[in-house]
Structure formats: structure tokens, C-alpha cells
Amino acid sequence: MQATLRWIRADLRARRGQAVAVVAVVAGVVTALLLSAALLQGATNPWQGLFSATRGAHIWLRLAPGTETGVLRSAVHGVTAMAGPYQAASASVVRDDAKQPAELRAMGPHLPAIGRPLLESGHWLSWARPGGVVLESTYAQALHARVGSVLDLDNLDGIAVARVRVAGIAETSDQGFYPDQAPGLIWVLPGVLHQVEPRGDTYEVVGLQIASPAGTAPVIQQAVTQLGTSAVEDVSTWQQVKQSMARRDPLLGLVLALFGLVALGAAVLAIINATGGRVLVQRADLGMLQTLGFTPGQVMTMLVAEHGALGVAGLAAGLVAARLLAPGLLGQVPGVSAGAATLPLGWSLLILGGIEVAVLLATAVPGWRAARVWPVAAVRPVPPQGHLSRLARAAMASRLPPAIVLGTRAAFVRRLPALLTIGGLAVPMIMITIGLGFWSTLDEVQHNPADIGLAAGLTVNRGTMSDAQSSQLISRAPGVAAVYRSVQVTALLPGESTTVTTLGEGTSAHPYPFRVVQGRLYRAPEEAVATQGLLDVLGVHVGELVQMPFGGVLVTFRIVGRIIDPQYDGQVLAYGRDTLADEGAAAPPFAYSLILRNGASPAVTQEWLQRHSGGRLQVTQTVNPADQLGVVRYMIAGVILVLALIGLTNLMTASLVGIRDHLRDVRVLRAMGLTPAQVIASLVARTSVLALVAVAIGVSLGLAACTGLINLAARLYGLGAGIGALPGGLTLAIAIIIAVLMAGLTAVVPARAYGQVPAAGVLGA
Amino acid sequence: MTGPSPPASAPGGPAVLLRASNVTKTFRADGGPVSAVRGVDLTLRAGEFAAIMGPSGSGKSTLLHLLGGLERPTSGEIWLDGRRVDGLSQAKWAVLRRRHIGFVFQFFNLVSNMTVADNVELAALMGGASKRQAAERCAELLAELGLSDKAGAAPARLSGGEQQRVALARALANRPSLLLADEPTGNLDSSGSQSVLRLLTRAHAEGQAILLVTHDARVASAAERVISLFDGMVADDAALRAPHRPAAARAAKAVPAVLRLHG
């Protein structure tokens, strides 16, 4: 034990830089994974993070005013804590000539312990600011309100009764996001509530935290029994809130999942390199320790203990870094709030545990290999053996430069190290290729929005203008290539209480140019195309029939094709507008979808239309979700850089080890009359050949995996296969050239030193 | 093939410390099996200093490695202190080496990430010494070898001669019953060689049994007995002078170690 500790201490002291590097790599990996997982969590399952960050209540009850709620604590079995009761009233906020419904919830100046709103900006309520209110954050977004904005509140009768100032914006897990769940939530001081609703037309809300979250139903049943049916006006459970918050943006989810995959690969590689490399370079010392009396088991234990401790230090540092960076970084990603991007403890522990296991394995495997070798290997270095292969002899005979032939041959003399070098570079290259493919997919989506159902650059609502006038104006507008009339109709899902968005785009004879990835576009009435997300929800395949109720009319569609459209949660059904008329279903007023010419600026057309219609046409630009993923590009670029560094480190180790192995050869070659330049060339050739093989393998496997992986992830996120793109030829060529050049360069520097080795003293070493 | 059980003590001298019987080692190579050691028999008594000589490739180092358990013989028996050890596992060999065997190598093989003092103390700690005992033993050895001022230095900062002296101190830290030295002067200049040889002689004078491998006749002349290896077999085994018996000078007429030649 004493000896083990002594060795660990000496090793940490002697190779402090490497030890710090291991800690830094682990810390970096922990930080990156925690942040990515939090981001993924925030993007795909925001409820979880919000619920734990706000110490949310599992059940919310809306009660008649004056209901005695004490009984909920005392007589309902399973209730562990209670939020409220809070007095609340309905109102609406008038903004941009539109009314947005709101619930005013009266609270005091102190944040409650349960169902605690999570302040995103500004301040909580305070007696010092009696007119100050706090808005729920998605409601604030819908209102375009910021801290300091002034809002006019109407009461239920539509009479403007109060003007308040936004003091803060907060997140909550009490209810789903606005406008999916309305009314929007505004926290106010009791004074504001009385000002809006002086007649006392209010209600009470109360939140219950329960012992077993899965069993909401029996608790609700007991509560209703205790309070009386008439007292309970409405009930919502955490499951409902979670469902309403889930999967808001399949594209973001997809992007983050893919990123996580590549990052995870990079992380494991980085750890293997940092710890495994640290063990590999000391194999001679480990053998020596065995001659001193360390058993193989002791050597293993010692290495695992040392690196395990370094790993734990890295975990701690990474945890701290993630905590510090999270608020700033996660807030930058559109659609993800810092509160939602809070990882549950279990996830964090899983990530930390997984990384520690990776560290231990990355140490134990090379440690075990080093320890089980009889110690003689450490004290009697075996010179590389081998002979000129027939191929090499033929190459020499054909007057290829001998330096190149000798270098190429040297690369494969020791098969295992050669394979390890190739693997060490090929694996990062696979990941880089996938990362580049992922980049191209984003490019594709961003530059060809038609691929994801966003062919139209502008949408025009005619408002008070007639169809004839509007059409005439649009036909004269600059940059317009084609116009489709479209309607958006909400339909109830058969057998479910949720609705989906359906789009009547163009007509069966003149369909909107969706990109169909499977089957074909609708060509006749009652034909439709759908996204994978919708097919999954309906449990149907392309070619099958589906019935949808539109208002009171049941319309039967044959789904003839599959499209990709990340809007509306990725659940879209599209068909010709004429289908609705044929079936006698009521259709809302149509809008115009304008497809612009290549290169035309949507802003110019938008401005032209607004100006020439005297502001009567409402023209909106289509927002491409990929445009908002800029931050993800930085993340991909970062991961690619890390992977490149990993590859570079592997190459440097490979060339150093190779050169050390062949120092004797170098001296012989010099003695045989090779010039220093030829010696350098042979050493560079040695590394470059391995790099070339590795790059070829890495790129081929990466390309093979690329589309498949992206499609798989896209399917998981409801987008369906067909979105994946391969990296561009030029990008790939540049990556390959850089990789091989780097390989050559890593060999040149040490090779230059060895090229100068004098021919004398060949047998000295 | 098993040899006869070794006697606990040979008549007329100290106990047999090490006995090898018909030891062979065959390596697999590209061109077929290569026999490095072919049926070697040898016996070393407690306190004896023997040199193994022979040309390059004669199997000297391999034999020494086999006797110290750094690799496993292909066949034959090795007895240490009356105990058969050739079949021991790697771990058991390691435990045995802690107390009974010290090694010195041609390339010193100091643990590179440890200081001079750490290298010596590590061996003592492995042998079961307490931290204080290890530090004391280390200080004592380094003082004896004239290396006290280098205690905190990294091995790489020392000259070859100094590194070999540290290696010697490390090998002697546990007062092993057997010191195995593989070309300890092979990488040293003449003054370095001289100082290492002086130290070996001194250790022997204090009763240390030493088996030394060398191809240098001058080095071998420091031993009291020279075993010549040729093509992996013992070609000759001769006493150079009467064994040095510091503790028992009365045993002046020591009998040379028993030797058998295998064809």
C-alpha cells in the first residue's frame, strides 16, 4: 500500500502536465455532455427540468372562491405539500390590437416553496412596485413583452381596467406553454387583482405535491370527495402539462441528438487518448515495477486508482464548469430556456458515472495488457523484426524512391501498433465525416427550405382586399415565381382529444410543391400527403386510408406520399384545397403562399406588396427553423475541432513511437548512405502511409454511416427518413487533404531531428 | 523432465541458495523455434559470487531472466532457498522477488517518474519496510554509494555510472538473498565500471550472493567463479580463487559448485 501510494504520488508529480491534461479532458467532456444533455432535455422534454427547478406541484385544482382548502392537507391521503391557495381571476391583455387571454394569479412578494416561478429576467413582485407584474415567459413571448413593457389589462367584460408594468418574466411548470395552453399566466399582487376584478368574480387555485407522482387519479378523487364536486372547477395533472410541453421542435431535437452522438463519440475517444495514452507510454516502468515485486494485480489497481482519482477530480471540475456556464450558454439557444434545460439528478449521475467508468476502462485495459506481460519485456526491448516484402522488393526494383519504399515498409513492420495508429486516426475521421454530413444536412435544410415543406418564402393574408385585387397585385410583385392558395384547418385526431394541423395547399390539379420523400404528391381530390410524425400518431402507412373530422364533416383521405415538415410538431397532413369543397367541409379564408424566384429577396417582395396594397395585405416571411440553429453550427465546428485534435495527438504519438522504434534503422540507413533528407522522407512516408489508410477507412465508414444515422435520428424525432445529406465532395476533399498533410507535418518535426543522427554509433543503442 | 531433489546443504560449504536443473528456454521466431537456453544445470551457494560469461547470443541474459522469474522457462526446474519456483505465477514471482532477489540491468531501468530516493525507498517499501525504515535504509545506501546529494534528483539527470549505482542501491534495499546483475557495466565508461565493480565486491564481502552476467573478462575476474555459456549451454565452470568468506574465513577450502554438462 505504502509503495503504491509512493508510486502514484511520484507519478503525479513527475508527469504533472499529463495529469492536468487528463483532468482537463475529463472536465471538458463532463461539461460538454452535461450541457448537451441539458440542451437536449430542454428542447425535447422541457417539463422535466422546469418541474424540478420550480419544485412543481403534481396536481393543480381550480376551485370556487372561498373553498376551504385546509382539508386537502389534513384529509387527502398522499399529499405531501401544497401551493396556495392563490386567488385568481380571468382577464385579457390587449396587444397589437389583439386580445390575449390571461389568468391573473395573486401572490405575495415572497416566492413560494412549492410551484416556485423561476425568474428568467427582472424581479419578482414587490410592495415597492404595486403596479408591477410578472409574466410567464412563453406568454411574454407571444405578447412581445419585455421587462419594463407596459400592458393594458381588460376585465372579462372587455373593459380596460388597469395599466401594469412588467417587472419580471418567469418560467413555470404549473401549466403548458402559451398559446398551446391558454390563458397565459400573470402573477400579480392582490391589489392589481382587486383593481381588475373589484366585484370578486374570482376563483382559487391550489397545487398539490403528492408522494407517488404516478398515482394522481386517487388523490384527485379524494380531493373532489372532500371538497365537493361543485367546488372543483377544473383539474390539471403533471402528465397533461408534460405532454403539452413535449416535442415542440422536432428539428432542434434531431439536431441536438445528432450532435450529442458525435460529441459522445469524441468524448470517449478523448478519454481513451488521455488516460490510455498516459498508461501506454509508461509500459517500461510498469514492467520494471514488476521486477521490484509489484504483482500484475497491484500494477492494475495502482493505475486504476490513480486515474480513477484524476477522473473524479475531472468530474468535479466539469460539474462546476457546467453549473457556471449553463445559464449563459443555454439561454442562447432559441426555443430552449435555461430553466427547462435543467438535468434531473438521475441523468447527471448517469453521465458522471458513465464517464468515470470510461476513464477506469480506458486505464484498466492498457494497464491489464501492460501488467500481464512478463516483466522481461520491459528490460529487454525487442527490436522490430521483419523483412522486405515481395511488393517492397518489386517497388525498389521499379525505381520508386527507396526512402518512400523503406518508410512504407516500416509502417507495417509492427502490425499491432500500425493497426492502433490506423484506428486512432480512422475513428476520429469517421466522426468528422458524420459531423460534416450533419453540417451539410443543416446547409441543405437552410438553403433549400422547400425540402422541409417551406417552399413558400412569403405568406400573404388578404385581409379586407378581394381575391381579384390581391391576385392581381401579387402577380405584379417582383420576385414571385408561383402562387398557391392555401388554408390551414385544424382537425380532431380520430379517437383522440388532440388536434392536428392540416393544410389545404394548392389544388389537386395544381398542388403545392412539397418535396415527397416516399410515394407521390396528391393529384386527385381526397388524396393527401403526410409527415412521418402524423403517420406515427395515426398508426398508418403511405397507401392507406385515414378519416378525419373537419367540423362536423368526416373526410376520408388516401395518403399517397410522405413529406418532411418540422412545423406543427412535425404532424402535418396536406392535400388539395378542392377536397374540402368536394366534401362540403367548411373552409376558412385562404391565404396566398408565394414561391419566390431563386435569389429573390423576400424582404423586397414583402415591402413592395405592403406598399402597393397600402398596408392592407398582411405579408409574413417564412421562418426557417434551421436559421435559428446557428449556435448548433458552432457546436459542430467545436466538436470537429476537438476530433481533429484527437486525431492529431494520435498521429504525433504514432510518429514518435515509430521513430523511437526505428532509431536503429535510421542509423543503419544513414550508414548505408541515405542522405538526411532521404531519412526524413522515409520517416514521413511511414506516418503518411498509415494516415492515408486511416483516412480512407474513416471516410468510407463515415459516409456509409452518415445518412443512415441522420435518417435514424430523424425518424426518432418524427421527421422521418429522407432529410440526411452527405458531406459535399469539396468539403470532404479538404478534410482529407488536411488530415494527410497534418500527418506528414507531425512526422517532419521529429524526423528532422533524427535525420541528423550521425551514422556512427549504429550499435550504440 | 524433473531433476533430483536438491540437498538442503552441500557437504563442506554453505547452503545451496539457487539451483537450476536442465533449464531450457525456446522462443518462437519467424524461422521456427530458437533455443536460447539449452539444458543448463547450475548451483549457487549462499554468499557466492559467480559470473556468467559468453559471447553475444549465448543465452546469458535469458538465463538470468529465467532465474529471476522475469520470464518462464520452457522446461526444467529452478529451486530457490529449497523451494521449487519455476512454475510460479507472475504474481507469486513478484512477491518472491520483493524479499529474495535484487536485479541490476545494463540500461539501469530506474523508474523514470520517481526520484533517486523514491526508487530506492520503493524497493524497501515493497519488501515490507515501514516508511521510516525505508527512508533510513535509503539514506544509508545512498551515503555508502556516495549519492546522498542526488537523493532528490530525477534519474535522467544522473550520469550512467550514477544511475547504475542507484540501481544497485535499489537492488540491495531489501538485503535480498540473491543479487542478479545483467551486464551492469555494459553501458558504462571505465571509471563508472570500476566503481560499480568495487561496490559489487564490497556487497559480496558482506556476504551477498551475486550472479553476474557479462561478456567482459575483466569484469568477470571480480567473481570467485566463472561459468561460460556457449550456444545456450554451459561450456565451462571454473573457480577463479578461493571463495571469499567474510563471516567464516575458516571455510577457506570451499569446494567449487557442482557442475554438470549437458550435451
pLDDT band at A316 (very low <50, low <70, confident <90, very high): very high
Q: Give CA–CA dist A701/A188, Å, rounded.
A: 59
- Are the CB atoms for B246 and B206 separated by under 8 Å? yes
**Kind of pairing between the strands at A591-596 and A480-492:** antiparallel
Pure H helices in chain B: 60-67, 90-100, 116-126, 131-144, 160-172, 190-205, 217-220
B86 touching A, CB under 8 A?
no
A283 touching B, CB under 8 A?
no
Q: Which of B95, B115, B134 sits opposite A293 (nearest CB)?
A: B95
Instruction: Quote the pLDDT of residue A128.
Output: 85
> E strands along A564-698, which residues?
572-575, 591-596, 618-621
The whole-number average pLDDT for the span B169-193 is 86
Instruction: Name the packing angle between helices B90-100 and A296-330 (round to 10°).
Output: 110
Q: Which of B61, B114, B134 sits opposite A380 (nearest CB)?
A: B61
Least confident of A102-111, A566-575, A737-746, B69-78: A566-575
Q: Which comes out higher in pLDDT, residue B40 or B56?
A: B40
Q: Give CA–CA dist B25/B34, Å, rounded.
A: 9
Instruction: Quote the pLDDT of residue A10.
Output: 86
pLDDT band at B227 (very low <50, low <70, confident <90, very high): very high
Instruction: Quote the pLDDT of residue B24.
Output: 93
Q: Give CA–CA dist A251/A254, Å, rounded.
A: 5
Is A14 within 8 Å of B114 when comparing Cβ atoms?
A: yes
pLDDT band at A309 (very low <50, low <70, confident <90, very high): very high
Question: Does A317 have pLDDT greater than 90?
Answer: yes
List, edge to edge, every strand of the sheet that includes B16-29.
B32-45, B16-29, B75-80, B83-84
Listed residue (A702, A641, A642, A709) closest to A29, CA to CA: A642
pLDDT band at B38 (very low <50, low <70, confident <90, very high): very high
> A66-98: per-residue pLDDT in tens?
777 777 777 777 778 888 788 888 888 877 666
Q: Give CA–CA dist A746/A727, Å, rounded.
A: 26
Listed residue (A278, A280, A284) closest to A378, CA to CA: A284
Chain A contact set for B154 (CB, 8 A): 14
Q: Which comes out higher in pLDDT, residue A281 or B103?
A: B103
A35 touching B, CB under 8 A?
no
Listed residue (B236, B189, B243) closest to B216, CA to CA: B189
Question: Does A261 have pLDDT greater than 80?
Answer: no
Q: Which of B90, B109, B114 sits opposite A296 (nearest CB)?
A: B90
- Are the CB atoms for A263 and A355 separated by under 8 Å? no
Instruction: Quote the pLDDT of residue B7.
Output: 44
Give one DSSP letter per residue of B130-176, joined into a string: -HHHHHHHHHHHHHHTT-GGGTTS-GGGS-HHHHHHHHHHHHHTT--
Instruction: Quote the pLDDT of residue B254.
Output: 35
The whole-number average pLDDT for the span B111-130 is 86
Is B90 within 8 Å of A292 when comparing Cβ atoms?
A: no
B65 touching A, CB under 8 A?
yes
DSSP 8-state secondary structure symbol assigned to residue A506: B
User: Please, which residues have CB within 8 angstroms of residue B20's CB and are 6 or more apart in sequence?
Assistant: B40, B41, B42, B43, B63, B66, B67, B76, B77, B78, B79
Residue A234 grid coordinates: 377544473
Chain B contact set for A296 (CB, 8 A): 90-91, 94
Pure H helices in A207-295: 216-227, 238-245, 250-271, 277-280, 283-291
β-pair partners for A715: none
**Kind of pairing between the strands at A132-136 and A160-171:** parallel
The whole-number average pLDDT for the span B94-111 is 86
The whole-number average pLDDT for the span B200-220 is 89
The whole-number average pLDDT for the span B224-239 is 90
Q: Which of B107, B114, B127 sits opposite A10 (nearest CB)?
A: B114
Instruction: Quote the pLDDT of residue A503.
Output: 86
The whole-number average pLDDT for the span B166-185 is 88
A467 touching B, CB under 8 A?
no
Listed residue (A272, A266, A294) closest to A11, CA to CA: A294
**Amino acid letter for position B53:** M
Encode burial over B125-160: b for 16+ CB neighbours within 10 A, e otherwise: bbbebeeeebbebbeebbebbebeebbeebbeebeb
Residue A594 grid coordinates: 408565394
Entry pTM: 0.66
Q: Give CA–CA dist A122/A102, Å, rounded.
A: 20
Q: Which of B72, B109, B122 sits opposite A7 (nearest CB)?
A: B122
pLDDT band at B23 (very low <50, low <70, confident <90, very high): very high
User: Please, which residues have CB within 8 angstroms of residue A548's CB and are 6 or more apart in sequence?
Assistant: A491, A492, A493, A494, A502, A554, A555, A557, A573
For testing contact with chain A, the best of B62, B111, B118, B189 (most A CBs within 10 A): B111
Chain A contact set for B67 (CB, 8 A): none
Question: Does B189 have pLDDT greater than 90?
Answer: no
**Amino acid letter for position A417:** P
Least confident of A107-121, A666-680, B203-217: A666-680
> A681-732: per-residue pLDDT in tens?
887 888 888 888 889 999 999 888 887 877 777 776 666 666 767 788 888 8
> Which range scores top for mean pLDDT: A569-578, A744-753, B210-219?
B210-219
Is B111 within 8 Å of A295 when comparing Cβ atoms?
A: no
**Kind of pairing between the strands at A516-519 and A458-461:** unpaired
Q: Which of A289, A295, A375 sits opposite B70 (nearest CB)?
A: A375
Give one DSSP letter per residue of A181-229, joined into a string: S-SEEEEE-HHHHHHH-TT---EEEEEEEESSTT-HHHHHHHHHHHH-T
β-pair partners for B15: B9
The whole-number average pLDDT for the span A443-471 is 77
> A117-153: per-residue pLDDT in tens?
888 888 888 888 888 889 888 888 777 778 888 888 7
Q: Give CA–CA dist A4/A717, Å, rounded.
A: 50
Instruction: Quote the pLDDT of residue A754.
Output: 65
The whole-number average pLDDT for the span A322-349 is 72
- Are the CB atoms for A457 and A622 separated by under 8 Å? yes
Q: Give CA–CA dist A7/B126, Å, rounded.
A: 11
**Amino acid letter for position A379:** V
Listed residue (A262, A307, A258) closest to A280, CA to CA: A307
Instruction: Quote the pLDDT of residue B22.
Output: 93
Nearest CA distance, B253 vs chain A (angstrom): 36
Residue A487 grid coordinates: 388554408
Question: Does B20 have pLDDT greater than 90?
Answer: yes
| CA distance between the termini of chain B | 16
Give one DSSP letter per residue of B63-88, joined into a string: HHHHHTTSS--SEEEEEETTEE-TT-
> B139-173: per-residue pLDDT in tens?
988 888 888 888 888 888 888 888 888 988 888 88
What is chain A's mean pLDDT, rounded?
78
The whole-number average pLDDT for the span A183-199 is 81
Q: Which comes out higher in pLDDT, residue A474 or B1?
A: A474
A60 CA to centre of own chain = 31
Q: Give CA–CA dist B56/B59, Å, rounded.
A: 8
> B58-94: per-residue pLDDT in tens?
888 899 999 998 888 999 999 998 899 998 888 888 8
User: Please, which residues have CB within 8 angstroms of residue A734's CB and are 6 or more apart in sequence?
Assistant: none
pLDDT band at B253 (very low <50, low <70, confident <90, very high): very low
Encode burial over A610-627: b for 16+ CB neighbours within 10 A, e otherwise: eeebeebbebeebebbbe
Residue A406 grid coordinates: 523503406
Cα angle vertex B83, ends B50, B39, to 5°?
55
Question: Does B252 have pLDDT greater than 90?
Answer: no
A14 touching B, CB under 8 A?
yes
pLDDT band at A248 (very low <50, low <70, confident <90, very high): low
B189 touching A, CB under 8 A?
no
User: Please, which residues have CB within 8 angstroms of residue A155's CB and are 6 or more apart in sequence?
Assistant: A89, A91, A161, A196, A197
pLDDT band at A336 (very low <50, low <70, confident <90, very high): low
Instruction: Quote the pLDDT of residue A537.
Output: 77
HEC string for A176-187: CCCCCCCCEEEE
- Are the CB atoms for A89 and A68 separated by under 8 Å? no
β-pair partners for B75: B24
Instruction: Name the packing angle between helices A46-53 and A238-245 (round to 10°).
Output: 130
Instruction: Quote the pLDDT of residue A246.
Output: 67
Instruction: Quote the pLDDT of residue B19.
Output: 93
The whole-number average pLDDT for the span A29-58 is 78
Q: Give CA–CA dist B152/B139, Å, rounded.
A: 11
Instruction: Quote the pLDDT of residue A666.
Output: 67
Chain B contact set for A293 (CB, 8 A): 94-95, 97-99, 123, 126-127
Determine which helix (DSSP H) or strand (DSSP E) holds A561, and give its type and residue range: strand A553-563
Residue B208 grid coordinates: 551477498
Residue A264 grid coordinates: 459522445
Chain B contact set for A291 (CB, 8 A): 68, 70, 97, 103, 109
Is A6 within 8 Å of B125 when comparing Cβ atoms?
A: yes
What is chain B's mean pLDDT, rounded?
82
Share of chain A above pLDDT 70, in %: 82
Q: Give CA–CA dist A535/A557, Å, rounded.
A: 13
Q: Which of B71, B99, B126 sits opposite A3 (nearest CB)?
A: B126
Encode burial over A553-581: b for 16+ CB neighbours within 10 A, e otherwise: eebebebbbbbbbbbbbbbbbbbbbbbbe
- Are the CB atoms for A562 and A517 separated by under 8 Å? yes
Is A2 within 8 Å of B131 when comparing Cβ atoms?
A: yes
Is A372 within 8 Å of B90 when comparing Cβ atoms?
A: yes
Grid-cell match 545456450, residue found: B232
Is A10 within 8 Å of B68 when comparing Cβ atoms?
A: no
Is B90 within 8 Å of A294 when comparing Cβ atoms?
A: no
Q: Which of B126, B131, B154 sits opposite A293 (nearest CB)?
A: B126
B97 touching A, CB under 8 A?
yes
- Are the CB atoms for B53 and B60 separated by under 8 Å? yes
Residue A143 grid coordinates: 405578447
